């Protein structure tokens, strides 16, 4: 097996020891989410007012539209991708691609009953997001999600808290 074959066959979409939400209701998750906090990485560097919009494509995959305002370049940035369930549609373990054919993990690991607040991670401990249906999150939910993430091995002190000033 070549290097690329080994790379893609060994990729996992969720960190070891982390469990995706089950049961998960895709229909309730669709719509607009505001990014409250995230780990810094190159595709979102220098962005605030970041949001994610999820809708259904004709082929039943999920359309992902991420947007944010680059406060250094003073311009909006948008990325459009597609998400697919890794297994069953009632398990919140997905893979998402903005640069097909390459996919990364997208896993909802905590969510409230009303689907207003979510804790999401990538395929390893370097990707973490706290999302909300509003530009803020209640302090008790924030503390709960931070404790959950920390207990799973995420370095929560590295989170960037996103500004939503509606540029």
Residue ranges per domain, the chain?
Answer: 26-161
Give tens-digit pLDDT for 138-167. Answer: 999 999 999 999 999 999 999 999 999 965
pLDDT bracket for residue 43 (50, 70, 90): confident
Q: Nearest Cα to 120, choosing from 105, 135, 141, 139?
A: 105
Contact 86, 13 (CB under 8 A): yes
- Which fold would CATH assign to domain 26-161? Lipocalin (2.40.128)
**Half-sphere exposure at residue 106, Cβ-oriented, CA atoms within 13 angstroms:** 18
pTM of the full predicted structure? Answer: 0.91
Share of the chain above pLDDT 90, in %: 85
pLDDT value for 126: 95
Please give the average per-residue pLDDT across 92-114, as a whole number. Answer: 93
pLDDT value for 167: 55
pLDDT value for 6: 32
- Residue 18 burial by Cβ neighbours in a 10 Å radius (0-12, 13-18, 19+): buried
């Amino acid at each position: 097996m070549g290097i690329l074959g080994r790379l893609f066959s060994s990729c996992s979409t969720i960190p070891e020891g982390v469990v995706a939400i089950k049961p998960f209701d895709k229909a309730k998750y669709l719509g607009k989410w505001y990014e409250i906090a995230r780990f810094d990485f190159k595709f979102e560097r220098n962005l605030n007012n970041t949001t994610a919009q999820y809708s259904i494509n004709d082929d039943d995959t999920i359309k992902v539209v991420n947007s944010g305002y680059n406060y250094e370049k003073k311009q909006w940035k948008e990325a459009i991708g597609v998400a697919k369930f890794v297994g069953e549609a009632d398990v919140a373990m997905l893979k998402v691609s903005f640069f097909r054919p390459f996919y990364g993990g997208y896993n909802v690991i905590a969510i409230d009953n009303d689907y207003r607040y979510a804790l999401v991670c990538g395929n390893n401990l370097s990707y973490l997001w706290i999302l909300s249906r509003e530009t803020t999150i209640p302090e008790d939910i924030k503390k709960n999600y931070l404790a959950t993430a920390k207990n799973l091995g995420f370095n929560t002190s590295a989170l960037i808290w996103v500004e939503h000033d509606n540029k």
